[in-house]
Amino acid sequence: MIDNGTPVTIATPGGADPVPLVLDLDETLIRTDSLIEQMLAFVRRNPFSIFQLIGWVMAGRVTLKERLAAAVPVNPELLPVNEEVVALAQQEADKGRKVVLATAAHTETAKLFLEKFPFISEVLATEAGVNLKGKTKAEALMKRFPEGFDYAGDSRADLEVWKRARNAIVVGASRGTVSKARKSANVVQVIPRPTVLKAFIKCLRPHQWAKNVLVVVPAVLSGKIIEPSSILPLILAFFALSLTASATYVFNDIWDLQDDRQHWSKRLRPFASGTLSLPAGIFGALICFVAGLALALMAGLAVLQWVLIYVVVTLTYSLWLKRKVIHDAFTLASLFTLRLVVGMVAVAAEPSPWLFVFAMFFFTSLAFAKRHTEIARVIEKGGNWVSGRGYRASDLPLVLAAGIASSIAAVVIMVLYIIEDAHQQSFIKVGDWLWALPPLIFLISSRIWVVCQRGDLDDDPVVFVVKDRVCLAYAALAAVCFFLAWFGVPL
């Protein structure tokens, strides 16, 4: 018995095996569920259509599959495949063995995969009021192939099929399912699933948590950072924002699934690549969301209020504003500014209009740098539109101008702050040190845009800043100058 995940040959001596190899579709031949993909695509087209979808669900799974197959046909070219299953099936087909697709997906959906997988010679699927799943599938296969069959599947529903198969191939199933399959069937191969925890952590984008350090800035600028009572609220606010933001990242990745699969780098994300199932991701995101709100409540009602506002703005961006030219960059900048607001209310610091206006311009510049990179990538590939965005290739000069203008505006705001307000702050002892900040901010912005223009900027400029040694050196020097002004070191 071979079950270590290594592709095996399942054949009888003397030529092609007369017993067909039968493959399940969802989570077996492809690393996703075609029905969930169709439901998501249907709602994404018009969020209010969810009420129509609920009606189809109440009418039964066969009706649901039939209506979705007609309304939103899947594109097999965009769906992630299980390379090991494909290799095994192709190997058997090359030897003359019959390969059959038997799936609970609707017949019209299943037939779409014939062109993508030419080794499939026959399709059995849900139709005419019969949901081809579990025991129903097992009986249909026994009737169609009385001489026997080998079956590759993934779920508990496939246990009934494996029991009646000559050989069972278990693909990406849970440990419990694998154990039950071994007790009731002749398991000859187990193709393991990707590590769910690792994929889920990647989906949460923990590297993005660095952005939430912004909650500390108001405490620093108000001098409250040295108060012991400020530490716990800031820690709670940081993790509250981090967990809720990660939950919104999961939602965003699910909502943008089709666009991400066509993106040069986002296609490697867990949902897009199929290394994390949609139900598992949704369940984990809900846990993170609830935990984040609980931490926000512990930090105070005001923190909870602004964290919820952050979530609402994020979801509005994901559902609508990200496809609106200019508005999308402004919204991204607003999300960064909201992080400052959360930090401000966490320690009850005095609001600083200068800080908020500076943040809006500076982060708007970074948002435009991100869009500039995406548009440039599209132009390199000969395209005209950025998938999932409202920008087209001809918008590149506009985005460049708006981004640089925003960065210069941020520098001007910092100069005005130093002239009009900084010297009046009680915690600033030697304000002249602050004059180092405008040129350093200019140097950071300029480096980002130089790298952006050269085509070397990654998707996220903030991630670039965090990793780039030159930007980190400028930021460190700015921090040193600020603390010298704070502690009153003579210039």
In this structure, what CATH number is given to the domain that contains residue 154? 3.40.50.1000
Cα(249)–Cα(243) distance, rounded to whole angstroms? 10
For residue 354, give every residue at least 6 positions away whose Cβ sits within 8 Å of its Cβ, in sequence order, or none: 413, 416, 417, 420, 421
- Domain total in the chain: 2
Q: Counting Cβ atoms within 10 Å, is residue 432 exposed (0-12), middle (13-18) or buried (19+)?
A: middle
Q: Please report whether residue 9 resides in a domain.
A: no
Q: Note down pLDDT in tens along the chain; length 491 residues.
A: 334 444 343 444 445 678 999 999 999 999 999 999 999 999 988 888 999 999 999 999 999 999 999 999 999 999 999 999 999 999 999 999 999 999 999 999 999 999 999 999 999 999 988 999 999 999 999 999 999 999 999 999 999 999 999 999 999 999 999 999 999 999 999 999 888 888 999 999 998 898 899 999 999 888 788 889 999 999 999 999 999 999 999 999 998 888 888 877 788 899 999 999 899 999 999 999 999 999 999 999 999 999 999 999 999 998 888 889 999 999 999 999 999 999 999 999 888 889 899 999 999 999 999 999 989 988 988 888 887 788 999 999 999 999 999 999 999 999 998 998 877 777 778 888 999 999 999 999 999 999 999 988 877 888 888 889 999 999 999 999 988 988 878 87
The answer on 182 and 36 residing in a single domain is yes
Domain boundary at 167, 193, 219, which? 193
The answer on 247 and 160 residing in a single domain is no
The answer on 368 and 219 residing in a single domain is yes
Q: In CATH, what number is assigned to the domain containing residue 244?
A: 1.10.600
Q: Which residues of 36-62 are buried (b: 16+ CB within 10 A; e: fewer)?
A: bbbbbbbbbeeeeeeeebeebeeeeeb
Domain boundary at 193, 209, 240, which? 193
Domain boundary at 160, 193, 226, which? 193
Q: Please report whether residue 4 resides in a domain.
A: no
The answer on 253 and 137 residing in a single domain is no
For residue 100, give every residue at least 6 positions away whose Cβ sits within 8 Å of its Cβ, in sequence order, or none: 20, 21, 22, 23, 120, 121, 122, 123, 124, 145, 149
Collapsing DSSP states into helix, strand and coil, what is residue 95? coil
The answer on 262 and 250 residing in a single domain is yes
Q: What is the pLDDT of residue 188?
A: 96
Q: Please report whether residue 11 resides in a domain.
A: no
The answer on 453 and 308 residing in a single domain is yes
The answer on 211 and 231 residing in a single domain is yes
Q: Please report whether residue 14 resides in a domain.
A: no
Q: What are the CA-CA distances from residue 407 to residues 55, 66, 160, 388, 413 (Å)?
A: 50, 52, 63, 26, 10
Q: Please report whether residue 34 resides in a domain.
A: yes
Q: What is the pLDDT of residue 455?
A: 87
The answer on 326 and 444 residing in a single domain is yes
The answer on 210 and 251 residing in a single domain is yes
Q: Please report whether residue 137 resides in a domain.
A: yes
Q: Please report whether residue 213 resides in a domain.
A: yes
Q: Please report whether residue 267 resides in a domain.
A: yes
Collapsing DSSP states into helix, strand and coil, what is residue 120? strand
For residue 104, give every residue at least 6 positions away whose Cβ sits within 8 Å of its Cβ, in sequence order, or none: 25, 26, 65, 125, 126, 131, 132, 133, 137, 157
The answer on 471 and 369 residing in a single domain is yes
- Domain range spanning residue 188? 21-193
Cα(347)–Cα(228) distance, rounded to whole angstroms? 11
Cα(207)–Cα(462) distance, rounded to whole angstroms? 10
The answer on 293 and 152 residing in a single domain is no
Q: What is the pLDDT of residue 480?
A: 94
The answer on 201 and 179 residing in a single domain is no
How does DSSP assign 160-200, residue by residue?
A: HHHHHSSEEEEES--HHHHHHHHHHS-EEEEEPPP-HHHHH
Q: Which residues of 331-359 are buried (b: 16+ CB within 10 A; e: fewer)?
A: bbbbbbbbbbbbbbbbbebeebebbbbbb
Angle at the Cα of 309 (from 307 to 315), degrees rounded to 5?
Answer: 105
